[in-house]
Amino acid sequence: MSLTTISSQYADKKPSCRICKAGSSISFNWSYAMEGKSADLPNSKDIYINPEPLKTGVLYQCRHCQSYWYLDADEQYMHHVADSKVALVQAWSQSDLRLSPQQLDILQAIGRTAPDIYGNGTEYNETPCQVKTTDGTLYPLAIISIQQHAPYEAWRNCKLATEIAEISPSPYALPHEVRLATTQAEEVSMSFAPTLVQLSNGEVVILNWTNNFIKKPAIDSSKTTLSDKSFNRNNMPPLYRLADEIVYFIADA
């Protein structure tokens, strides 16, 4: 979300609560809403009850429907928290999620993927890697996200850094310079910010917006390079989309 966003909502959903707009509202600019500048946004603090101060920010419930809402520490945005995320948010608040100096060294060697040129991702410090958890499970498509805010996002599959036993480079991660190039891609049309890359077998594909991984049979992702072909709308290479879900491990800043 960029800094100027007033609100974001699901385009295809109607609110299930007419008071807090849960169901359709994802997040909204808190001070803008409280100044009564939009008829579509809540305009009173009175609708939020049961404040629960967290490590940063405060968790509330809607007085009317009991939906959970998270106000970040700077009181910039109020975010809807799905019921299924509440236990994770509370565990995040109660846990020391600082990484060890050794873990931070490994992440530094891999290299962080920066926010994009439009400001998307400024609230995260993310590094793709492979994580082995304390129960022995291997996550080769992992991102360690060092962040100040609670992991409220419905669209991220998050675990906490307390589950990390071992961090290593991911076999599917793109080289640092390719990842950074995807963060620099310009939006040439609605929701389309292409980067052309060449895979280890010579095939050229498009990555849309920031990408961290390629997982394709018989492809060595570490050998991916930026293509010397320029983007041509009339002759576009195929678009690559990661089919598998990324698992985010949340750590304290």
Complex with Zn ion: residue 8 or 24, whichever CB lies closer: 24
Spatial distance between the Cα atoms of 87 and 110, rounded to a whole number of angstroms: 31
Complex with Zn ion: residue 41 or 250, whichever CB lies closer: 41
Binding mask 2-41 for Zn ion (x = CB under 5 A): ---------------x-xx-x-------------------
Complex with Zn ion: residue 38 or 225, whichever CB lies closer: 38
Only one of the segments 55-63, 94-102, 114-122, 138-146 lies at the binding site for Zn ion (rule: CB under 5 A); that segment is: 55-63
Spatial distance between the Cα atoms of 250 and 243, rounded to a whole number of angstroms: 22
Instruction: Establish if 64 lies at the interface with Zn ion (CB under 5 A).
Output: yes
- Interface residue with Zn ion among 26, 62, 89, 161 (CB under 5 A) is 62
- Interface residue with Zn ion among 1, 34, 58, 65 (CB under 5 A) is 65
Residue 155: CB minimum distance to Zn ion, A: 21
Complex with Zn ion: residue 20 or 142, whichever CB lies closer: 20
DSSP single-letter state for residue 75: S
38: tokens are: 């939009």
Write out the H or E segment, with its range, that includes residue 4. Answer: none
Complex with Zn ion: residue 65 or 106, whichever CB lies closer: 65
DSSP code string of 130-186: EEEETTS-EEEEEEEEEESS----TTSEEEEGGGEEEEE--TTBPPHHHHHHHHT--
Can you tell me whether residue 225 is helix, strand or coil? strand
HSE, side-chain direction, 13 A CA sphere, residue 34: 12
Q: Which of residues 98-127 bind Zn ion (CB under 5 A)?
A: none
Q: Does residue 89 contact residue 56 with C-beta atoms inside 8 Å?
A: no
Complex with Zn ion: residue 62 or 247, whichever CB lies closer: 62
Count the site residues for Zn ion by CB under 5 A. Answer: 8
Name the residues that contact Zn ion, by CB under 5 A.
17, 19-20, 22, 62, 64-65, 67
